[in-house]
Structures are given as C-alpha cells and as structure tokens.
Amino acid sequence: MFTGFKYSGTIRRPYRFHQRTRSFIPTMRQITNYDHSKQCIFKCLDNITNDSILKVRSDYLSQSQLGKNLWIQSYIKNNKVIRDDNVNCGVRWHVDGFDVCLQCWKLAIGVSTYKLQHYDRVIHGNSGVSKMRPNIHISLAWMETTYKSMCDQMPTKDEFHLPNYMLWKDICRDLNIYLMEHNQRQITISYFYRLHKKYFPKVKAPKYTRLGKCDTCVQLKEAKTIEKDPKRQKELHEQFLEHNRKQMQERFEYKSRCIQAEQQPDQYLSIIVDGMTTTKIPLKMPMPKGASQQERLKLHIHGLIDHSHKIRRMYGSLDHWNHGSDFVVSILATYLNNLKAIHQGNWPRTLYLQVDNCWRENKNITMILFLGLLIQRKWFDEVFMYCLPVGHTHEDIDQMFSNWNTHYWKTGLQSPLGINDFLGWAYPSVVTRPTFKWIENVYGVSEWTKGFGISMKGHSTARGFYFRKTNNLNNVQMFYKGSSLDSTWQGLQSDSSKGIVLFQIIPSLNSNPELLPLQPLKNDIIESFLQNDSITKHLDTQNKQWYLRLLSNNSFYFTEGQSTCFLQKGPLMELTIFSNQLLEDSTSRIIVDEVQQDFLQNGVQLNDTGKIVLADVQCGTSSFMVGKVIKVNSSTVTLKVFTSWGNNFEGIYEIVDGMEKEIPKNKILRKNNILTQKFKLTVGAASFLKKKYSL
C-alpha cells in the first residue's frame, strides 16, 4: 500500500471565500438602523442615549463570526449574577451601565436569538462534510496514481522524490490534459500547489540527490541546458517527458504483477530482492567523539518481499562471503526451500522476480541458469525476471530499507543481539515489519553451472527475461526483451521464435553446488573497537560478550548448521507448456553459439555429415569417443573414429583407418568446436568433458 499519500476527502474553499479581513467595519446604517418598535413594554432603551447604543453596537458588529462568539462569551462571563452562597442567578443585561431586559439588550447590541443560543459551539455543524468538486476528486486520484508510478522511494528517509529535472508545471500540465479529456474543469498552477502541499507533503522535488541518476535523464538535462534554440529545447524536453512516461509505465507493470500475485497466490508468486547500504556495528547515537573514526564490523543486509504471501524478510551476513550472484542465488534458493516447507494449498505455477538492474548480482549467466533450473526441476512452469531502468529502480523494498536506516541513525545498533528489538521499534506495524534471518550457507553456483550451462554475451542490456520448458526436449529455453513494455519476446538471432536453450547437460537431482568456505573476519577490527573506551562504555555485558565470542569463533552465532541441499525437485508434478507468439523486435540481441543451439534443439541432422562430434561411448581407455559423422540414419549415427588418448586432453587426434562405429543419436554429446586446427581438444570441449566425467 502506498502510505506516502493520503487525503481526508475535504478541502478548503477557494481563496475568495475563506480569506476574510480580521475586522469587518459595518456601515452607519447597520449600526443605527434598529427597530424601536420591537422594544419591550417597559421601553428599556428610551432612557439610553444613542451614543451609548452606537458605542456597544459598533463594538460587537465590527467582529467576525468567531469574534462575535468570543465577545458574547466574555460578556456573559463578566456579568454573571452570583449570590452569597455561590448560586448562579443569571446574567445582568445592560447597555453602557444601564440595566435592560434581554429582549432590549439583543435589539441594542444586534445579537440574534440563534447566535445567543449557539455562541459556545466548538464544532461547526458542517464540519467534516465533504464539499469537494468532482474535478478535485479526479485530480487527487490522478496525482496519487502518478506519484506512485513516477517517484523514487528514498531508502534512507520517509520521502518520495520526483525524477531528476521533472518540473511541477509539467505535472500540472499533464493533469489538466487528463481533466480536459474527461470533460472536467481544469485547475490553476497555484491551486495545484495547494493540493500538493496539503495532501502529498512527502513528495519532494530535490535539487540534488545522492542516489544514482538515470543516464538518459542526465544527458537530456545537459543538452537542454547547453541548447540555445527554444524549439530544440522544447524537443529535448518532450523527449525527457516521453522517457519519464515509459519508466512510469514500467512501474505500473511491476505494480500490476504484484497485485495479480496478491489476488491469486495459488497461481503467481511475486518476489523482489535487493541489497541495502552496509550497516556498521557497534554504533551508538549520538556518536561519541572518540568513536567517530573507529573502524567497525560490516553487517550486510539483503531484503526480500513476497507479495503473494505478504512476507517481508531481511537476510543478514558479516564479511564471510562476497556479495555477488552466488550470494543472491543462495538467498532465493533458501527462501524457496523454506516456503515449500511451510506452504499449504496449491503451489504457484508462475514466478515473477523483480531485481535491481545490476549485472554483477542479477543479470548474469549464474542467475539465468538458476532460473532455468527452477523450470527444469519443476518448481515453476514459467519464470519472469524484470528490471527497472538504471536510475529509476527504487521500489517498495527500498521503502523497507528506509525505516531501518532512519532508526539506525537515530538510535544506533550495538550488536546483532538487539536486532529483534530494533525491528520492533523501527517498524511499529506488524504488517510491514520484516523478520530477520542470518545467511549461513552460500553455494558456489557460478562455478557449478560452468559444466552444464551455455555461454552468452550481451544479456546485460535486456531488462526482461522469460523462461519455460522446451517443446520437444527435456531442456529449458529463454526469451528476452528490452523492457517490460516491449510487446514481443526475442530468442535466437537466426530465428526469434526459437528460444535460447540453456543447458548443454541436464544436471541430475543429486548434483548440487558445493558450499563456499567461510572467509575469516578481521579480528584486528574487533580487538580495536573493544579497546576503545568511547565504544565499550556504552556496551552492556551481553553485547560485549557477543563480540568476545566472535573473536574466538567467527561463526558461533550460526544456529542451523551447514546444509548441502541446494535445490531439490520442485513441488509441481506436471508441467504445462505455454506458447506465445514471438516476433522480431528492435532490442539489441543476445549472442550465443548458434551451432550449439542448433544441436541442443535439433540434435544431429542429415546436413551434419562431415562434422566432428563427441559421443558418450567408451573408446579404448577413454570414457568418450571423438568421431566424424559419415552417415545419419533415423535413430543412429555412423562415425569414423579418432584415436583414443584415454583421459589425456593434450593428445593429437587422428582418424583410425577402417574403424567405423554406429551409435544411437542420443549418445552424441556435442558437435562442432571439438578439435582445434592442430587436432587437439578445444578448451571448451576439454572443460565440458572434465565436468561431464568428473575428471
């Protein structure tokens, strides 16, 4: 829920109605014109001079409505008649010292009966009743929706920032265009400012920001600043607006996927994962002067939000591992395994994964093969991975980080022992409060996937990836596109309707990556701040004892123990294949080995005669066979066999005269790029065989 923007449903009247002068000076006719015939039968006012009546009458009538109420309150308070036994006997009504009856007093002063009965009313009768015009209702709804999709949520404060160089007048202009299209009255820029200030105070348009900026935004701004031609400046500004509308639409797409997963959790699983700015411990705020330059331990926090099951989680780690693709993949695998253990009901068949637009952690071959493995091991039928444009990637997970950072710099964090209490204070609502969990197992997925995955380049430019099962093989294919707004998915360069097959070898269920070893912490840092009196005097016994134990055993706080189970067979027992219409698009292409893709999708064909292949057939002392295709049958292939060098990958391969062998097609492991010009195994073929046969 977008908590930054709320409005009450009421609005002040326009300026000309509610801005009144503090003192209203009545005319002489209003002061002197009162009906003498309305006096009581005793004619109380006949003995009072006109000057005395005009004096008190002008004093009352010159007040505003609120001032009149206060005037009557003051008069009644100062003219109460109280007996000796403190019994209130009423009010003395007089005009300039002359006693009169109530009827004549009201006539002389100009007080109505209704005013005298309701002068002490605190709440107006129409208070809280909405008087908003339809165009204002529509404007507020449009502004809320636009700000949701346009603004960047700040990870360190409860604010929402407009895109760089976006102007308020541009937003007001777009709003008026929308109102005009819906036959509604347009609003002025000043009235737009008032609406924004009252209902959206958290939305800011900062002059500068420390967050990463979009390259396109920066380039267009600089070009607009340098350009002197007004027409060209207008063109550049229109380009910027169009660029901003596209990134807004991409945010809409992300929000729609989240809502879809929330409404249909048995069909869709939506996850966003990202890393937070490094936290350093111990930290006491306000920071003592003697501790300001002290080096501290780094506490790395990664966040994960599951929109389908409304789960928010923070994963913490010290400097035991590098925080690259292996770390992120391990977090996802750990979460999915845990979710499977507690999940009840139908398991979702589609995964939506939203990640940061970073090649180091997310858009790399390790992550791509892991998502393909989720398909191959029957966790999901389809997997989608999306990224927002660089410089526009701040989303709901950054808002979760914002609360942490805000309270971290207010109160500090002495040690991980206080994290649960810290979360309870930083996140008052149980609904938005994340749970904290240590990362205890990180797998060497990148090294593990080298043996069975393909190689590719150019994939870091795409921002949308789609994975599904191949139609005729037990493999996984990937499609991609430039952004979530592109209408079509792309595949191979030669034929975009064919996806990129990901696996050279299908890894078995018993095959799992090895655990990465724990890197030791820098104990000299711990010893250094434990010797600093400015830090230790603020540490209680438990926190100090925690750091002392960390000195002797860097992993003593682990509770679950090491697990070699990375990703077993998924919950789905049957797969449903979805076929989409895939057309050409203008997005930059991902480059893969087309020959390898042809073999992975089609195997050995009639036109492969004369090509050199690797076969899973024992040849002499060698676990594999190198041969040249001389005949392709319906289910078998006839090869001219090369010499066998056992498991030595440095030998020179030559055809053995008169030695031919017919083998099944499914025994062919690889074709082309087998031998170099000197008839030695290529580096790729040697690496493939070493992984295949664990040599």
Same domain, 321 and 222: no
Instruction: Establish if 559 belongs to a structural domain.
Output: no
How many CB atoms neighbour CB 140 within 10 A? 20
**Residue 218: is its pLDDT beyond 80?**
no
Instruction: Establish if 403 belongs to a structural domain.
Output: yes
Same domain, 199 and 171: yes
Q: What residues have CB less than 8 Å from 596, skipping those under 6 apart?
A: 454, 504, 670, 672, 673
Could you tell me how many helices (H) and strands (E) the chain has, helices first? 21, 26
**Residue 14: is its pLDDT beyond 50?**
no
The confidence score (pLDDT) of residue 616 equals 84
pLDDT, tens digit, for every residue of 169-215?
A: 878 888 898 898 888 999 999 999 999 999 999 888 876 555 556 66
Same domain, 215 and 308: no
**Residue 693: is its pLDDT beyond 70?**
yes
Instruction: Establish if 124 belongs to a structural domain.
Output: no
The confidence score (pLDDT) of residue 211 equals 52
Cis amide prior to 286 (ω within 30 degrees): yes
The confidence score (pLDDT) of residue 6 equals 45
Same domain, 239 and 281: no
**Residue 352: is its pLDDT beyond 90?**
yes
Instruction: Establish if 83 belongs to a structural domain.
Output: yes
The confidence score (pLDDT) of residue 288 equals 81
- Lowest-confidence region among 375-384, 592-601, 673-682: 592-601
- Lowest-confidence region among 84-93, 333-342, 368-377: 84-93
Contact 320, 556 (CB under 8 A): no
Instruction: Establish if 565 belongs to a structural domain.
Output: no
Q: Which residue has the tokens 């991609």?
A: 480
pTM of the model: 0.63
The confidence score (pLDDT) of residue 674 equals 79
Q: How confident is the model at residue 585 (pLDDT cuts 50, 70, 90)?
A: very low
Spatial separation of the C-alpha atoms in residues 376 and 569, rounded to whole Å = 9
Same domain, 145 and 228: yes
How many CB atoms neighbour CB 18 within 10 A? 8
Same domain, 488 and 628: no
Mean pLDDT of 302-326: 91
**The last residue of a domain, from among 552, 580, 611:** 552
Q: How far is CA 9 from CA 129, 172, 295, 602, 623, in A?
A: 9, 20, 51, 63, 77
Give kind and range of the element (H or E) at residue 365: helix 365-376
The confidence score (pLDDT) of residue 581 equals 34
Q: Strand 152-153 and strand 668-671: pairing? A: unpaired
Same domain, 337 and 437: yes
Instruction: Establish if 305 belongs to a structural domain.
Output: yes
Amino acid letter, 11: I
Same domain, 46 and 186: no
- Of the chain, the percentage scoring pLDDT greater than 70 comes to 84
Same domain, 215 and 89: no
Tokens of 521: 């912490």
Spatial separation of the C-alpha atoms in residues 217 and 688, rounded to whole Å = 45
**The last residue of a domain, from among 118, 152, 184:** 118
Total number of domains constituting the chain: 4
**The last residue of a domain, from among 74, 89, 118:** 118
Instruction: Establish if 636 belongs to a structural domain.
Output: yes
More confident of the two residues 261 and 392: 261
Residue 101's domain comprises 34-118
Q: How confident is the model at residue 305 (pLDDT cuts 50, 70, 90)?
A: very high
**Residue 65: is its pLDDT beyond 70?**
yes
Spatial separation of the C-alpha atoms in residues 335 and 648, rounded to whole Å = 42
Same domain, 176 and 292: no
Same domain, 528 and 671: no
Amino acid letter, 518: L
CATH number at residue 671: 2.30.30
Instruction: Establish if 150 belongs to a structural domain.
Output: yes
More confident of the two residues 221 and 431: 431
- Of the chain, the percentage scoring pLDDT greater than 90 comes to 14
Same domain, 73 and 158: no
